[in-house]
Amino acid sequence: MDMRQVKRMIILAASIIFLGQMTVSADTQTGGFSNATGSNQQAVVVKNLDQLQNAFNSNQHHIIIAGSIYAGNKPITFTFADKKWDNTTIEGQSGTNPTLVNIQLKFDGEMLPATQAISNIVVKNITFNGVISDLQKLTGNDIKPGGSGVNYEGISLRRINNAWISHNDFHDMSDDLFSISLHSDNITVSNNRFWFSNQWLNMNPNPNWNWIGDWHDLATERLTMVVGANGSDSYMQGGHKMHVTMHDNWFGPNLKGRPLLRGYVHVYNNYFDNSNQPTGNNSSGFSQQQYNALQIGSGSYVLSENNTFYKTNNSHLIGLDKNGDAYKFLERNNIYNQVTGTNAKSNANASEFSIPYHYSTLTGGNIQQQVTAHSGPFK
């Protein structure tokens, strides 16, 4: 064997080792059900709304947000609605404080054939927030079901398979801050922060809006996220999809309630922070107290472990769509510090949960310290 053959064999062996390492990394890097890697296309950097719109219109699969992009005084939505959006990354450029203001990213495969979903999505390192004064001024259809205000979230995943949502900040939006629905599957939500500002909590004027057929005040709409839109969109009733991991996220402060979980959801290493403990009534006379921190919904399997609950009210709450709906819930090794209300009891054991990925749990005071230090954008 001459030296050229030896060199080729060395290169081939190194390549095999490298590819093996890449495969292992892709399978474990999210710490959850997703192994999404997003786009491998050349990135395009966008710095204003026109550039973002042009990147979207030209089907750019790797979009980098540089600086703050403002949609104007009414929320707008970018809807990624077909299979051409498979393998997409949208991320913020570190060092520019990347922010999408009054802008929602909706990945929505609901119009695809029933056997298809939009796949391999990564969104990371972005702040999503609304402008309170803009939202207060909305009127007419914008504040009724289907309107730009009542449907305004940061990210919405609808029939998406394999997505990784990581190191983002979500605050001050008028629907849930984030949602996973319509039989989405294999989603990891990691190192994000979900919260509402004191300005939102105490907003005045505090207009009445109509989300789902009834009217109530905007300031009370301080909801975190949902996994599964309803009981039929749950793990048990929806074809055993909705596998979701939530780890190392910072929930709070000033959250009224949720996450509401109807999927097969593994919740670990999260910090549920109700340190502000809102009390009393807001300017419209409605209670500001938190009603729950984490809600176990119809058709769900929820494993909650090694989380810290600080001053939360009803830390785990069973909240079903219909009395008697089935669910499985197991909590273990959580820390409860100065909590109020009640805490739901487990009705399942460890053998009923199967977690197919490697993960590492935090313990004790490390949970709060590590999560607050490493959640949200890198900026």
Q: Domain with 113 in it: what CATH number?
A: 2.160.20.10
- Residue 253: asked if its preceding bond is cis (omega within 30°), the reply is yes
pLDDT for position 290: 98
Name the residue among 262, 235, 255 with its Cα closest to residue 310.
255
For residue 84, tell me if it sits in a domain. yes
Q: Which residues of the chain have pLDDT under 50?
A: 1-28
Name the residue among 172, 222, 160, 221 with its Cα closest to residue 197.
172
Give the residues across from 62 on adjacent strands: 89
pLDDT for position 321: 97
Q: CB under 8 Å to 326, separation ≥6 — which residues? A: 236, 298, 299
d(CA 274, CA 276): 6
- Could you tell me if 75 and 51 are in contact, meaning their C-beta atoms sit under 8 angstroms apart? no
For residue 9, tell me if it sits in a domain. no
pLDDT for position 259: 98
For residue 12, tell me if it sits in a domain. no
pLDDT for position 10: 35
Residue 110 one-letter amino acid: E
What DSSP element (H or E) covers 370? Answer: helix 366-374
DSSP H helical ranges for 29-96: 49-57
pLDDT for position 33: 98
pLDDT for position 365: 86
For residue 39, tell me if it sits in a domain. no
CB-count burial class (<10 Å; 0-12, 13-18, 19+) for 109: buried
* Token representation of residue 37: 């890697």
How many CB atoms within 10 Å of residue 272?
A: 33
d(CA 180, CA 226): 6
Pairing of strands 335-337, 169-171: unpaired
For residue 312, tell me if it sits in a domain. yes
State pLDDT tens for residues 282-299: 999 999 999 999 999 999
d(CA 13, CA 166): 34
d(CA 248, CA 368): 9
What DSSP element (H or E) covers 181? Answer: strand 178-181
- Could you tell me if 189 and 147 are in contact, meaning their C-beta atoms sit under 8 angstroms apart? no
DSSP secondary structure letters along 296-324: E-TT-EEEEES-EEES-BSSEEE--SSTT
Tally of domains within the chain:
1
For residue 1, tell me if it sits in a domain. no
**Residues of the domain holding 356:** 69-374
d(CA 13, CA 90): 34
For residue 46, tell me if it sits in a domain. no
d(CA 13, CA 28): 23
For residue 53, tell me if it sits in a domain. no
State the pTM of this model: 0.92
